[in-house]
Amino acid sequence: MGIEIERRFLVTGEAWRGGVTEACRLDQGYLAREDRVTVRVRVAGAAAKLTIKGPGGLVRPEFEYPVPLQDAEAMLATLCGGRRVAKTRHLVPHGGLTWEVDVFEGPLAGLVIAEVELPAADHPLALPAWAGREVTDDARYSNAVLASLDAPPRG
């Protein structure tokens, strides 16, 4: 079992692009999305994993396991019922932490969200200039909810 402690922000502007050290495309879908639990399958290049997250906000229980790529692709194609998200994830080191800047594609094009994992819930966070409004507790911006939208949320 793990605990995910993560804060999330909308991204303003393009200045973050200057700090990118790595990028990869993620194709993920939701096998289940209930009040308590989401079950996600994600393909990143030749690697795939299955992730179970408990109730969220800032601190969430998280269980993650590698799965065969072929299984993940079959689950994405047949068991996610269209609840899918495609995005390119950019790693951007800032203030001693690695931020992940996700540029969404398809119906969510235009949406850019930055996530940062913290070693503790009260860990001080030096916000980069391009971090806009915090959406950690705004369920509309969770990937599990975004996966069902046909356009980015407004506001």
Contacts with a second copy, residue ranges (CB under 8 A): 1, 31-34, 36-37, 39, 50, 52, 54, 61, 63, 65, 67, 70-71, 74-75, 78-79, 81
Q: Based on CB atoms, which residue is closest to a second copy, 6 or 100?
A: 6
Q: How far is CA 108 from CA 98, 113, 124, 150, in A?
A: 24, 11, 31, 7
Q: CA quadruple 82, 144, 33, 98: dihedral positive or negative?
A: positive
Question: How far apart (Å, rounded) are the C-alpha atoms in residues 95 and 76?
Answer: 36
Question: How far apart (Å, rounded) are the C-alpha atoms in residues 102 and 113?
Answer: 5
Active-site residue identified among 16, 30, 99, 104: 30
Closest separation in Å from C-beta 23 to a second copy: 28
Q: CA quadruple 123, 20, 54, 34: dihedral positive or negative?
A: positive
Closest separation in Å from C-beta 76 to a second copy: 11
Q: Based on CB atoms, which residue is closest to a second copy, 97 or 145?
A: 145
Closest separation in Å from C-beta 1 to a second copy: 4
- Tell me whether residue 141 is one of the annotated catalytic residues: no
Q: What ranges in the chain are assigned the alpha helix state H?
A: 69-78, 143-146
Q: Based on CB atoms, which residue is closest to a second copy, 10 or 75?
A: 75
Closest separation in Å from C-beta 3 to a second copy: 11
- 37 closest CA partner among 46, 50, 24: 50
Backbone angles phi, psi at 77, to 5 degrees: -75, -30
Q: Based on CB atoms, which residue is closest to a second copy, 21 or 78?
A: 78
Cite the active site residues. 30
